[in-house]
Amino acid sequence: MKITNAEFTISAVSSKQYPNDLLPEIALAGRSNVGKSSFINKLIQRKSLARTSSKPGKTQTLNYYKINNQFYFVDVPGYGYAQVSKKEREKWGQMMEEYFQTRDTLRAVILITDIRHEPTRDDVQMYDYLKYFSLDVIVIATKADKIPKGKKEQYVKRTRKILQMEQTDTIIAFSAQTGEGKDAAWGAIRHYLS
């Protein structure tokens, strides 16, 4: 996809702040530090539109990026920090539930995992959580440049198995460093925008 325009639109904490122009939305979820910002920036060919290495404790918001005036990427706050308090976790849960439950323009969720490691309990919980809301999930197994080429298929299969992914959900090996998987990722996204 040729990106002619990519702009930060709003940080939202509740539905009152969501944009109301009815453009389709693709949400992005992943553990903190998994490579979510790098994924977004690689896809839209911007060095740092999405902030990299979001630190624990930073404000937990839904960050809207409008792409080509055609759709939104919605960066959802990272999960799985050990340091997060129970109160913060509850606030996160409420915000996510409001979003996933009510957002009619949400077409699919991209879940970022690290291809090198088995999906964590948090990853599995997140996938289950998204399926609970009957959402379609595209899994991006990132940092593929860090594993031997010959092992890729095996690592992708392992991720699919541990997440117990539904057959209709897609998984793509990706690297923000080499750009591997970028076209496949756009293909999967485009499918949900038509």
Contact positions vs ligand GDP (CB under 6 A): 30, 32-38, 52-54, 78, 142-143, 145-146, 175-177
The set of residues, in sequence order, having a beta carbon less than 8 Å from that of 186 and lying 6+ positions away, is 1, 43
Distance CA 135, CA 42 (A): 24
Nearest CB to ligand GDP, comparing residues 146 and 191: 146
Nearest CB to ligand GDP, comparing residues 54 and 60: 54
Nearest CB to ligand GDP, comparing residues 54 and 170: 54
Q: How far is the CB of 140 from ligand GDP (least distance, A)?
A: 10
Question: 149, 146, 147, 125: which is closest to 137 by C-alpha?
Answer: 125
Q: How far is the CB of 16 from ligand GDP (least distance, A)?
A: 26
Contact call for residues 112 and 163 (beta carbons, < 8 A)? no
Q: How far is the CB of 168 from ligand GDP (least distance, A)?
A: 26
Q: How far is the CB of 176 from ligand GDP (least distance, A)?
A: 4
Q: How far is the CB of 42 from ligand GDP (least distance, A)?
A: 8
Instruction: Return the bridge partners of 110, or none.
Output: 28, 138
Nearest CB to ligand GDP, comparing residues 70 and 178: 178
Distance CA 113, CA 159 (A): 8
Q: How far is the CB of 150 from ligand GDP (least distance, A)?
A: 18
Nearest CB to ligand GDP, comparing residues 105 and 177: 177
The set of residues, in sequence order, having a beta carbon less than 8 Å from that of 119 and lying 6+ positions away, is 113, 127, 159, 162, 163
**Three-state secondary structure of 99-160:** HHHHCCCEEEEEEEEECCCCCCHHHHHHHHHHHHCCCCEEEEEECHHHCCHHHHHHHHHHHH
Give the H or E element holding residue 10: strand 6-12
Nearest CB to ligand GDP, comparing residues 9 and 33: 33
